[in-house]
């Protein structure tokens, strides 16, 4: 728990540097090495458990974990929980991103508002967001809305700060050029500011999607009647470490898949950018 | 729309009266970039401004465009005070100013679509312009996929397509290699001839200024630089830019103007050396 607190508190700022597209395709040699490394670690883990070097109460054997994952998936036990978690994460992400975008654009374009709100936003951002989870539980109850609210506070600040920075860092000469070509304030927004801010927003999208899910899971962990966080907490309650690990692995795969989808969208929307290796 | 009122008395297309510009420096002080600039450009004239780097050439062009407000003095265009950006002017910037997220054709047609021209018509006209500047096979490229020369051509088409009465060009070709630059200069003259447009052309290359212009204006070294010389270039048109450097009139004018410009360039150089020496 405490590590989660640290991470949500610290990483919620602006992505430090300009986003850069990842280096292109991974070579076949690297890919083979990655698979080999995975297999090696899993086998070592399994063997060390079997000979008793690793206590498999705390680190259950990979074979056991896989078996539990298979049971949870096969019996359909995990799907309702996963669905609830994803629903909470999606709601938190959509509302948080929308609010972050809106306020980000507004404050970036209206200097007075930015000055007015700056200290308050800094204050809220400095607050480790996890401490809000208990109060949201009291306010919004055990259902999904306390998790949505919690995820919202995580997503909002990331998207907000990146939008603000993205709009403010637009090259002056692009604005001047568009204005000389007759752009109105609205056309400036549409043709210059939004596309420019998109690069920043996308650089934060991977982080904010992750935080939406983190928010949902942590919220469920603290108090819920369904969801992946709840399932993991239940397993932990009966000292079922295998169950805890199974939950972790399933979440990991789901987030990986979502991340791949985000990559796809990003690559399409930012296709105008030069690639590193091109 | 953008039609100049030809029956009226000759209003200047660009008119700066005793314009000065002061910038606030990061330390809270002020820096006088230019002082008492008078610039009058009649419609259809090609005027070049030459000066050492940092002498305030871009600042002057920004004031003419309405992108910067003069600290003192007035700016007008066709008899109307310039307030906000000058809608009758197009601007070709010194830096790359194409929108990187728009394709070549979308960049070129931008001025039209923003003015409400329907997309198909805007695209047609953009395509015609791209053909004119030799880029018809590159319409769907993004700016980063073009060479420097191709980007400048795109900017040229982007600026001309809206059919402005004034073209403000800030060192448009200085980043290009010599061959490409000569081709572009030729294309520019061909476009401008009989277009009736006023051009204010900034360059630090005196050859280029004399070859293209009706008038060359020399700017003194900064800070507080001002106009130190005006020269009418009476070399007849149409001019052959490939041969013009051997023209006796060109040689004579070049000698005369360079004599003046040299002084300013060396003053700029010396003050830079002094500053760097003092800072060290
Ligand atoms: N926004 C600004 N703030 C402060 N100083 C500026 C600004 N713009 C230009 N200057 C200064 O004004 C002087 C003239 O700049 P500029 O017009 O760009 O010169 P040029 O185009 O002739 O090279 C330079 O010394 C430059 O440092
Ligand atoms: Mg300049």
Same domain assignment for residues B50 and B117: no
Same domain assignment for residues B214 and B272: yes
What's the CATH code of the domain at B57?
3.40.50.300
Q: What is the mean pLDDT of residues A95-122?
A: 90
- Tens digit of pLDDT for each residue in A190-232? 999 988 888 888 878 888 888 999 899 988 988 888 899 999 9
**Is residue B216 in some structural domain?**
yes
Provide the domain limits for residue B119.
Answer: 97-163
Same domain assignment for residues B173 and B37: yes
Same domain assignment for residues B131 and B266: no
- Tens digit of pLDDT for each residue in A247-261? 999 999 999 999 899
- Tens digit of pLDDT for each residue in B159-180? 999 999 999 999 998 888 888 8
Domain ranges of chain A: 76-269
Residue after which a domain boundary falls, among B141, B163, B185: B163
* Ligand 1, atom 16, residue with closest C-alpha: B56
Residue after which a domain boundary falls, among B163, B183, B216: B163
Q: How confident is the model at residue A276 (pLDDT cuts 50, 70, 90)?
A: low
**Is residue B218 in some structural domain?**
yes
Same domain assignment for residues B153 and B273: no
The partner residues of B237 in beta bridges, in order of sequence, read none
Query: Phi/psi at A227 (nearest 5 deg)?
Result: 110, 165
- Report the pLDDT value the prediction gives residue A20, as an integer from 0 to 100: 46
- Report the pLDDT value the prediction gives residue B265, as an integer from 0 to 100: 84
**Is residue B6 in some structural domain?**
no
Q: What is the mean pLDDT of residues A64-75?
A: 92
Same domain assignment for residues B55 and B75: yes
Cα(A209)–Cα(A267) distance, rounded to whole angstroms? 16
Minimal Cβ distance to B65: which of A180, A195, A198: A180
Same domain assignment for residues B155 and B174: no
Same domain assignment for residues B201 and B80: yes
B51 lines ligand 1 (CB under 6 A): yes
* Total number of domains in chain B: 2
Same domain assignment for residues B68 and B176: yes
Q: What is the residue-averaged pLDDT of chain A?
A: 85
Q: What is the mean pLDDT of residues A76-87?
A: 92
Cα(B152)–Cα(B167) distance, rounded to whole angstroms? 14
- Report the pLDDT value the prediction gives residue B3, as an integer from 0 to 100: 55
Same domain assignment for residues B101 and B124: yes
Residue A19 has pLDDT above 70, yes or no: no
- Report the pLDDT value the prediction gives residue B271, as an integer from 0 to 100: 80
Same domain assignment for residues B20 and B126: no
- Report the pLDDT value the prediction gives residue B223, as an integer from 0 to 100: 87
Under 8 Å between Cβ of A246 and B117: no
Which residues of chain A have a CB within 8 Å of the CB of B142? 271-272
Residue B220 has what DSSP assignment? P
Residue list, CB under 5 A from ion ligand 2: B 58
**Is residue B61 in some structural domain?**
yes
Residue A153 has pLDDT above 70, yes or no: yes
Same domain assignment for residues B53 and B181: yes
Pocket test for ligand 1, best of B24, B50, B53, B54 (most atoms within 8 A of CB): B54
- Report the pLDDT value the prediction gives residue B82, as an integer from 0 to 100: 93
**Is residue B174 in some structural domain?**
yes
What are the residue ranges in chain B where pLDDT is below 70? 1-10, 276-280
Q: How confident is the model at residue A24 (pLDDT cuts 50, 70, 90)?
A: low
Cα(A38)–Cα(A31) distance, rounded to whole angstroms? 11
**Smallest Cα–Cα separation from B77: which of B7, B126, B12, B158?**
B12
Residue of B114, B126, B175 best to disrupt the A interface, most CBs of A under 10 A: B114
Query: Phi/psi at B25 (nearest 5 deg)?
Result: -85, 160
Residue A9 has pLDDT above 60, yes or no: no
- Report the pLDDT value the prediction gives residue B42, as an integer from 0 to 100: 94
CATH 2.60.40.10 correct for A76-269: no
**Is residue B4 in some structural domain?**
no
Minimal Cβ distance to A174: which of B65, B67, B99: B99
Tokens in use for B254?
A: 């070049």
Chain A residue with CA closest to B95: the answer is A173
Residue after which a domain boundary falls, among B163, B183, B208: B163
List the single range of A12-16, A175-179, B59-63, B125-129 with lowest mean pLDDT: A12-16
Q: Which residue has the tokens 């290359």?
A: B205
Minimal Cβ distance to B111: which of A181, A272, A274: A181
- Ligand 1 centroid to B51 CA: how many Å? 13
**Is residue B5 in some structural domain?**
no
**Is residue B152 in some structural domain?**
yes
Cβ-defined contact of A182 to B87 (cutoff 8 Å): yes
**A132-139: long-range contacts (C-beta < 8 A, 24 or more apart)?**
A133/A218, A133/A219, A133/A222, A134/A222, A136/A219, A137/A219, A137/A222, A137/A223
């Amino acid at each position: 728990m405490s590590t989660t607190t640290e991470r949500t508190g610290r990483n919620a700022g602006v992505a430090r540097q300009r986003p850069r597209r990842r280096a292109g395709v991974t070579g076949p040699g690297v890919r083979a090495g990655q698979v080999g490394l995975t297999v090696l670690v899993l086998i070592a883990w399994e063997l060390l458990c079997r000979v008793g070097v690793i206590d498999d109460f705390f680190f259950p054997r990979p074979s056991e974990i896989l078996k539990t994952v298979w049971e949870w998936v096969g019996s359909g036990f995990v799907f309702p929980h996963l669905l609830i978690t994803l629903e909470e994460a999606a709601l938190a992400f959509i509302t948080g991103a929308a609010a972050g975008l809106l306020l980000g654009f507004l404050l970036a374009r209206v200097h007075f508002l930015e000055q007015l709100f700056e200290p308050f936003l800094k204050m809220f951002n400095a607050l480790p967001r996890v401490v809000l989870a208990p109060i949201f539980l009291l306010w919004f109850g055990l259902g999904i809305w306390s998790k949505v609210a919690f995820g919202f506070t995580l997503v909002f600040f990331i998207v907000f700060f990146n939008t603000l920075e993205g709009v403010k860092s637009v090259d002056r000469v692009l604005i001047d050029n568009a204005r000389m070509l007759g752009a109105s304030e609205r056309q400036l927004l549409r043709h210059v500011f939004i596309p420019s801010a998109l690069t920043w927003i996308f650089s934060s999208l991977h982080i904010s999607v992750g935080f939406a899910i983190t928010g949902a899971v942590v919220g469920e962990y603290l108090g819920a009647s369904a969801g992946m966080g709840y399932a993991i907490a239940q397993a932990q309650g009966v000292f079922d470490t295998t169950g805890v690990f199974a939950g972790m692995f399933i979440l990991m795969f789901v987030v990986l898949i979502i991340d791949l989808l985000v990559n796809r969208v990003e690559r399409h929307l930012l296709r105008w950018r030069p690639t590193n290796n091109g | 729309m953008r039609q100049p009122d030809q029956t009226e008395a000759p209003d200047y297309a660009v008119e700066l009266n005793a314009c000065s510009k002061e910038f606030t420096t990061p330390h809270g002080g002020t820096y006088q970039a230019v002082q008492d600039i008078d610039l009058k450009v009649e419609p259809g004239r090609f005027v070049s401004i030459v000066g050492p780097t940092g002498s305030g050439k871009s600042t002057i062009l920004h004031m003419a465009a309405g992108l910067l407000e003069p600290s003192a003095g007035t700016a007008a265009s066709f008899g109307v005070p310039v307030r906000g950006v000058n809608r009758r002017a197009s601007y070709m910037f010194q830096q790359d100013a194409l929108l990187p997220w728009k394709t070549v054709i979308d960049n070129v047609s931008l001025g039209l679509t923003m003015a409400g021209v329907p997309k198909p018509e805007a695209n047609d006209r953009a395509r015609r312009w791209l053909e004119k500047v030799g880029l018809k096979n590159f319409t769907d490229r993004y700016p980063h996929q073009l060479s420097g020369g191709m980007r400048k051509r795109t900017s040229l088409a982007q600026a001309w397509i809206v059919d402005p009465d004034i073209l403000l060009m800030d060192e448009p070709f200085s980043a290009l290699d010599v061959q490409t630059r000569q081709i572009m200069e030729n294309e520019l003259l061909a476009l401008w001839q009989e277009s009736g447009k006023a051009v204010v052309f900034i360059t630090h290359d005196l050859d280029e200024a004399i070859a293209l212009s009706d008038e060359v204006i020399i700017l003194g070294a900064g800070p507080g630089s001002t106009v130190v010389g005006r020269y009418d270039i009476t070399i007849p048109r149409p001019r052959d830019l490939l041969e013009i450097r051997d023209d006796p009139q060109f040689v004579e004018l070049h000698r005369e103007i360079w004599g003046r410009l040299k002084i300013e360039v060396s003053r700029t150089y010396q003050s830079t050396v002094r500053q760097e020496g003092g800072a060290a």
